[in-house]
Chain A
C-alpha cells in the first residue's frame, strides 16, 4: 500500500500534451493583398500585389499582374509610375529616396477597382545596437537597444535579416506605456532560426499609426491566435477592399555576428 501511494504521488505533475489536428476549414474567395513601402534608405521601392490562399495550401501566394500602380510624394509633388518585374511585384523608378515628414500616396488600379492609401514618414529613431539573448533553452534571440524619444508618439516594427536573407517574421512595439524610456526589446524567434556564427542585421523601422494598427493586429493573429477570444482579420490602411499595408517608414539598422 505504501509503495503504491508513493508511485501515485510521482504521477501527479501537470500532464499536458499537444498534437496536430486537421479540422475542416472553409476557404473564402481569394482576397487581394497589396503591400508596399517607401523608406529613408535608398530605393528602389517595391509594391507586391498577391492573392490569399486556403489554410492548408502551401505558403506561396500567387502574384497578380496588370495592376496600374503609382506612388506620389504629395509634399513635393513627385509622382512615380511603377512597372512589374516578376509576377505581382512592381518597382519604382524616379522615387529613390523617402524624406521625413513627407506624405506618400499609393494608388492601385486593378480590374476596374481602385485602392488608395496614404502614409507620412515619421522622424527617425536611431537603433543603438543589436545584442543577442540566450536565456531560453536552444533559442537565440536578437535584442534591439535604443532610446525612445520623449513627448513624441512612436510606433515601431522590428525586422531581421539573417545571412543576407530577410527573416519571414515581424514584431511591433509602441511607446504608449514607454514614452521616453530606454528600450531593450527581444525579438521573438523560433528554435534554430538564429544560430551561432550567423550574421544578423536587426532593423528598427519607424512606422505611422495606421500601419502599426495593421501590423500589430496581424502580429497577434500570426503568433498569439490561441489567446484571442475573437480573432478578426487585420484592418488595412489601404482603402477599397483589400488586405495589406502601405508604409512610409524610417529605418535604422545594426549588424552583428552571433558568438
Chain B
C-alpha cells in the first residue's frame, strides 16, 4: 500500500499540468462582409466552417461578424444569396480580422452549385415571421406606373395586405395601418406614401434591402404593434463613380454615387420627381384639369471609414407631396429624416453602434377661396438617440444590449385664416412625450440544431408638460382640467415587453420555429375616414389614451428543397391587442383640443395561417403566397359590445408572382393578386330627415366589399449593355384585364329618379400602361 501512494500523488500533481498542456486557446475571427463591386456592406451573410456543421455566425446590420473558436485549421465559408460562395483557408493561431468582399452572381442564368449540404442556412435559423428582400428580389416585379417599390412588393408576401387602389398604408396580420414601424436607416418615417398611396416614399435606386418582421420581433425593435419594416439605404460605391436613372411617363429619377476616398468612404444621392400634373390638362373633369399634383424625394448618404475600428455614416431623406385642386382645396405633406451613426468595434467580440436621429413629418390642408380661407398645419417631430451593442461571446452565445430614447413633439393643428375667412385662427396644445427603452437579448445555441433568442425590452412612456390634462364624462364633456408646466411629468407608463423565439433544425433543409412577443405602441393615428387622408391626427399616449399592447404567438415549418431551389414556409399566428382605439359617432377629430373625448377603447384579436413557396433559381422564378386570416375588434358602445370584423379583415389573400428570363435581352413578369373584400358597413334601410333619404345601419362591418383581383404584366428589354453603359426599357400594364375594383361605394339618391336611391361604385384604375427608359453609367 505504501508503495502505490507516491504514484497516485504524482498522478494528481501531474494531471492538471497534463490538462493545461492539452487545453486549446480560443481565438476570434471578425470582420466586415462587403459586395466586391460596390463596396456595400452585406447584412445577413452566413459565415460557416466546412466539417463543422452548426458552427457559424451571421453578419449584423452593418456587415460585421465575429466568431470565437479554438485554434486550428479551418475552411471558412462565406455565403449570401445572390453572391458566389467564398472559401478561405484559415490557420487560426491568434485573433484575426478577416474582411471579405463577395462577387455577385446572376442567379437566374446559372444553376446554384452546392458545395456542402451541411452548410448552415439563414432561412432555417431566423425567427418566424421574418422576411428579407434585396433589391434583386424586387427588381422585376411589375408595379403601378412601372416604378419598382419596396412597400408595394412586400404586400405580395403572406400576412401583409394592401389597403386597395389609391390608398396608402398596409395591414400586417390584422393590425392597423399605423401599427407598422417603417424605418429608413433607423429614422421613423410617419407617412410612407406619396400621391395618396400610388407610390411609396422609397426610391428603389437608393435602397439596399428591406427586412420585414411580422412576428418574433427581436428586442432591439419596439414602438409599433404589428410589424417592423427596416429599410436600409445603399452606402454608395466606394470603388467608382456611377450614374443611373430612369425617365418614365409619370416620374423620373436619377442616382449618383461614388467614392469620397476609394475604399474608405463613399456617397450616394438619389432624387425623383413626378410630373403627373403635366397630364391633368388632358382630363375632362374641370376639377382635375388645372390641378397641381407632384411629389419629389431626395435621398442622401455619405459614409467614411476613419480607421479599422471606426466608421461614420450620415444619411438624410427629404420628400414632399403637393396636391392642389383648382376649386381651391389643397393638401401637402412631407417627411424629412436625418441620421448620424457611428460604428465602433471595441474588440474582436464587441461591436457597437451609436445613432442620433431626427425625424419630422408635417402635413397641411388649405382652402384658398376667400370665404373659406384656412390653412391647417400639423407636425410630429422626433429627436432620437440609440446605442446598440452586439457581443459575440462565443459561437453558442451572442448578447445584444441597448438603449433607445425618443423625444416626441406633436403639434396637432395650427390653423391660420385670413380676415374674410369664416374660420378663426386656432392653435392646439403641443404634446410632449419621452419614449425610452432599454433591452437585453440572448441568442443561445445550446446544441447545434436548437437556437433560442430570448430577451426583454423595457419601455417607459413619460407624458410631459407644458400641457393640460383633462378628464371627461360619458357625454364627452370636460370634467377636470389640470395644467402641468414645462418639464413636469403628467404620467409615466412602464411596460416590459418579453420576446422569445426558438428554432429547431429538423435536418439540413428544414426547421420548425416558435415565437412569442409583446409589443407596446405609444403613438396613435386617429382616422375615421376611408381615405388615408394625410390630415389624420397623430396623438401620443396621455392620461386618457393608454399605450396599445399586443401579444402574439406564432410558429411554423420552414424548408428548402430541390437543392435549395425552392423555399417553403407555413406559419400560424394568434394575436391579442389591448387599448385599441375607435371613435364615437360623429367624432370631431380636427381642430379639437379635447380630441381624446371622442375616442373609445377596447380589444382586438387576429389569427391566421400563412403559406409561401418560392422558386429562387432558373429561367422562371417567383413565388406564391396564400393567407387565411381573421381580425376583429370589441369595443363597449360599438356593435352592442360584440366582436365585429375590423375593416381590414380579408378572409383569403392570394398572390402569384412570376418572373421569366426569356433570353439575355428580355425578361417578362406577371403578378396576380386576389383578396376577399374588406369588411364594411352598409345600410339596412332608409328613412327621411327633412325629406332627404338617410340610411339606417344595424351592425358594424357585417358586409363585404366585392372581392378584389388584378393582373399586372411587365416586360424589360435590355437595349444596350457594355462595361461603361447600360440601358433598358421597362413596359408595364397595371390591371391588365381592367377589373373594376371598388375605390369607393356610395349610397345616394338616384340623380335620374328622385323616387329611388342607388348604389354607386367608383373605380380608380382600369388598365394603366406605362413605359420607362432606364440608364446606367
Contact = CB atoms under 8 A, between A and B. Distances in A.
Interface string B754-770: 11111111111111111
A213 B748 CA distance: 21
B250 A12 contact: yes
B777 interface: no
A218 to B, nearest CB: 4
A238 to B, nearest CB: 13
Nearest to B371: A184
A23 interface: yes
> Which one of A17, A35, A54, A191 has the highest number of Cβ atoms from chain B below 10 Å of its Cβ?
A17
B424 A181 contact: yes
Interface string B550-590: 00000000000000000000000000000000110110100
A166 B687 contact: no
A170 interface: yes
Interface string B403-424: 0000000000001000011111
Nearest to B287: A136
Contact of A168 (B530, B692, B695): B692
Contacts of A26: 684, 698
B685 A59 contact: no
A23 B690 contact: no
Contact of A16 (B693, B703, B758, B765): B765
Contact of A52 (B687, B692, B756): B687
A59 B754 CA distance: 8
B145 to A, nearest CB: 8
A1 to B, nearest CB: 10
Contacts of B250: 12
A215 B696 CA distance: 14
B747 A50 contact: no
Contacts of A216: 586
Interface in A45-82: 50, 52-61
A42 interface: no
A140 B722 CA distance: 64
Interface stretch (A101-109, A172-180, A194-202): A172-180
Interface residues of A, number: 80
B18 interface: no
The interface centre, meaning the residue of B647, B692, B755, B763 with most chain A CB atoms within 10 A of its CB, is: B692
A220 B586 contact: yes
B688 A33 contact: yes
B531 to A, nearest CB: 6
Interface in B666-702: 681-698, 700-701
Interface in B255-311: 279-280, 282-283, 286, 288
B536 to A, nearest CB: 11
Contacts of B696: 28, 31, 52, 233, 243
A154 B241 CA distance: 66
B770 A12 contact: yes
A18 interface: yes
A231 B747 CA distance: 11
B588 A21 contact: no
B394 interface: no
Contact of B420 (A58, A136, A182, A218): A182
B62 to A, nearest CB: 41
Contacts of A176: 588, 591
Contact of A59 (B681, B690, B756, B762): B756
A15 B688 contact: no
A222 B695 CA distance: 7
B426 interface: yes
Given A135-B327, A170-B692, A230-B528, A58 B249 contact: no
A117 to B, nearest CB: 15
B769 A185 contact: no
B740 interface: yes
B685 A31 contact: yes
A131 to B, nearest CB: 11
Contact of B423 (A15, A181, A217, A243): A181
Contacts of B249: 8-9, 12
A227 interface: yes
Contacts of A231: 681, 695, 697
A59 B756 CA distance: 6
Contacts of A223: 748
A169 B528 contact: no
Contacts of B703: 23, 25
Contacts of B396: none
B474 interface: no
Contacts of A18: 760-763
A217 B528 CA distance: 13
Interface of A: 5, 8-23, 25-28, 30-31, 33, 35, 50, 52-61, 135-137, 159, 166, 168-170, 176-185, 190-191, 213-218, 220-223, 225-235, 243-245
17 contacts: A13-B282, A14-B288, A15-B766, A18-B761, A25-B683, A59-B693, A159-B690, A177-B424, A178-B422, A181-B422, A182-B422, A225-B747, A229-B530, A230-B638, A231-B697, A233-B695, A233-B696
Given A53-B686, A55-B686, A183-B422, 13 more contacts: A11-B769, A17-B763, A26-B698, A31-B687, A53-B685, A55-B747, A170-B689, A177-B424, A182-B422, A184-B371, A217-B586, A222-B692, A232-B700
